[in-house]
Structure 1
């Protein structure tokens, strides 16, 4: 990607006459698309948004909102099942609660999950309409560099829109194996899990990235036997190694079977269950299998060639840090760009694109300031430079670590796993990276994200008041290690 300055000129295709509103056409209604539409409308642009699968896109309809809602239910069960240390007992038997003594009505859980997704989608649509955005329930496809076709369910053209600015935000779909086609009943991708009305007796999860790890964690907490098939030595390849170790320990403690250095070759229906064959020839039998193998961008039939928009070999659209494609006036945002598969990044890309296209000074996307979280139990959240970057020599830094076992609030809540890690520049002690492994780490990472974005020092973090007792106390306490080292 190129590296534009922080105050770039706008990039409209043509200059509109005095009083004429520019027309922005957005293809895709996920976070990148709807945030761009709201931004464009606030700038006074005539804005059209085309979406065929539901406003909110995969993030709201089939991915982030439903999965995190399911995980929220699993998290409650996980907390209750681990509450014996807090003195909680079953009122009838006097026994400590465990995952085996709790029942889950998966049908009711999934109805709630899908209901929340539908409600969020409806709320976003209302916001768009109230902002003056024309919402078109159709698939959008480029028809040259300044025109978008609206296509109906059978691929027929139902309309055309001329555009001064186009944003492509079509997202991605689950990747599947030809040798393991998903049927929505026993062999599932992550969009199909919410059709289940009974808890899988034994769920085999193929893929140990973020999606695989999250669902393995959630379904084990819900009560399923879970086997996680990982092609790598550790789960969550590319994530902080210490965080992955904590999660693997949690998996072992909770009874998740992790098959490391194993790769699935095929999956097939077998009676009332499934059989997953590994490349070694070994078979694993279960009731269901989840294929969690990443995503493929929805760009194959987007008409990119008609406008000359360049894409990478993977099918992702090439963009720079202000979301520009190779064609003047055409932008792209979200999973179809392959920048980061995060709803927050898609939304930021969409906003940046519209600010740039419609004449605002804009700060380009800065990868080092992007925070992300993995919603396992415990959660893992990261921002900025990693310890691996430091070890490899890609970045210069000092690594400070503090376990949560010394935190008073953690002791009160029965939290036995987790840590905070702070990475600072030598000499200046500027915060350049962080890792938090803890319950609600997705919330706890914000102070460190602010520190990275605003170049705060370890001394400034250490000198900030925190509530006592609180998990946030450890965020400041780990920074004091740097201060105390200097003092001695």
Structure 2
């Protein structure tokens, strides 16, 4: 008789944990998964899915304005925030039901409870006090937003979690940060007509992205009416009547109805029992894992944001799938984190894959192709918004090592471009691909003249 109740116990019902549980069960493993909140995790419940719905809502403002140039006369549009939130909530509830159903169909046992680790093979369910013995434990608890720095009054601010459930749309908002979340929510609120100020300690948005993308988005946001308080930090937040007042490091004060802190996230590992089980973590709380997602304790693994490797939903899913195939499917699988297409759903949006120009210059004799142009749609709409495309090529091998796009449809384009770059396409491969006209994407295969060498 086995000493274990289950072959695999998964802590966390987000994207990575759910994928691992389903695949492991499909390989014949007996699997149990515990989730203390709602199945779907950050992405589905309070992350990329509801955020993208909000992005769609925010872009209708542009569409209504652009319609006039194409002969449409529209009555003055109005927006109702509660309707958007209500419809978003209904969609999230639908998706959670699908997650549960798919797990049950796969034969996974679902537990609605917080679970903590007592030793390398024992998990305790806090809801009932029951203990489960597992041959293998997978930690997939994701991350959570933090309000940093810990300035006076920071508790008056919200994070992205609360932004999805505001009872009313603020007239004015201050967003603090310049990463994915800050940039995307600034674009969302501005598109919905909110007076938006973005405060960031640096001089450009999106640290770590290609410089042309950073500069292009910074300029585009300024044109869209988003007030950029760059090279500034908030030193305190006070309540003044019905409004909040942020004091900046230069002594200036900004008033708003809401202040949203989007300066970072931390791995969700507190009080999980990891330390007691001997699992090694870094100072940020991330679980150290090897290439097979195994922690310092042989029976405990971790995938997704809780490892703080690459904090993106598709990466967590791939890691969870690889873990299950390797451990239960007899197919050792590793995840390559070196080449990951990604998007920022700002307006205009960003799509990027591969090396930035500065990274490429450190690794090869890079040849740069870049084009900036007004899209066809803008010729009649009159909108002052340009598109930028950039291809980075290794001069020695002709291999495309990076592609960066700023503009409408950038995310959809970069997913497809990512296939070519992952396959090792060369600039000659791009050049011999027939253009599809008229599209913005055809520029990717028609750029022939490189920029002068630096």
Structure 2 residue 94 is matched with structure 1 residue 119: yes
State the match for 1:357 in structure 2: 327
Show the 5 A alignment for 1:87-486. Answer: 87-91=71-75, 101-152=76-127, 157-177=128-148, 178-179=150-151, 187-391=157-361, 393-405=362-374, 408=376, 411=379, 416-478=385-447, 480-481=448-449
Given the superposition, is the C-alpha separation of residues 314 and 137 from structure 1 closer, same or farther in structure 2, using an over 3 Å criterion?
A: same
- 1:52 pairs with 32, 36, 40, which one? 36
Aligned mates of 1:368, 1:420 — CA distance in 2: 22
Given the superposition, is the C-alpha separation of residues 260 and 457 from structure 1 closer, same or farther in structure 2, using an over 3 Å criterion?
A: same
Given the superposition, is the C-alpha separation of residues 78 and 159 from structure 1 closer, same or farther in structure 2, using an over 3 Å criterion?
A: farther
Given the superposition, is the C-alpha separation of residues 358 and 21 from structure 1 closer, same or farther in structure 2, using an over 3 Å criterion?
A: farther
* 8 A contact 1:404–1:410 mirrored in 2: no
Q: Give CA deviations for 1:171-198 in whole Å, capped at 9, x if unaligned.
A: 1111014436666xx6311111132232
* 8 A contact 2:64–2:74 mirrored in 1: no
* 8 A contact 1:105–1:198 mirrored in 2: no
Given the superposition, is the C-alpha separation of residues 241 and 83 from structure 1 closer, same or farther in structure 2, using an over 3 Å criterion?
A: farther
Given the superposition, is the C-alpha separation of residues 52 and 409 from structure 1 closer, same or farther in structure 2, using an over 3 Å criterion?
A: same
SS of alignment partner, residue 191 of structure 1: helix
- Residue 76 of structure 1, CA deviation: 2.1
TM-score relative to the length of structure 1: 0.86
Aligned mates of 1:396, 1:331 — CA distance in 2: 40
- 2:56 pairs with 72, 75, 80, which one? 72
- Residue 307 of structure 1, CA deviation: 2.1
- Structure 1 stretches of at least 4 aligned residues deviating more than 3 Å after TM superposition: 82-91, 177-183, 359-363, 407-416
Aligned mates of 1:382, 1:275 — CA distance in 2: 36
SS of alignment partner, residue 164 of structure 1: strand
- Residue 122 of structure 1, CA deviation: 1.1
Structure 1 residue ranges without an equivalent (≥5): 1-15, 92-100
- Residue 468 of structure 1, CA deviation: 2.0
* 8 A contact 1:335–1:341 mirrored in 2: yes
TM-score relative to the length of structure 2: 0.92
Structure 2 residue 15 is matched with structure 1 residue 31: yes
Q: Give CA deviations for 1:217-264 in whole Å, capped at 9, x if unaligned.
A: 111110000011011001112222211222122212221100000111
Q: Give CA deviations for 1:69-125 in whole Å, capped at 9, x if unaligned.
A: 11111122233234444344335xxxxxxxxx5321011111111221121111111
SS of alignment partner, residue 158 of structure 1: coil
SS of alignment partner, residue 368 of structure 1: coil
* 8 A contact 1:145–1:306 mirrored in 2: no
- Residue 466 of structure 1, CA deviation: 4.3
Given the superposition, is the C-alpha separation of residues 274 and 164 from structure 1 closer, same or farther in structure 2, using an over 3 Å criterion?
A: same
RMSD: 2.4
Given the superposition, is the C-alpha separation of residues 466 and 411 from structure 1 closer, same or farther in structure 2, using an over 3 Å criterion?
A: farther
The alignment of Structure 1 onto Structure 2 pairs a total of residues equal to 449
Q: Give CA deviations for 1:347-400 in whole Å, capped at 9, x if unaligned.
A: 111111112222533442222321111000011011111112024x14543221
Aligned mates of 2:429, 2:88 — CA distance in 1: 41
Question: Mean alpha-carbon deviation: is it higher for 415-424 or for 325-334?
Answer: 415-424
Structure 2 residue ranges without an equivalent (≥5): none
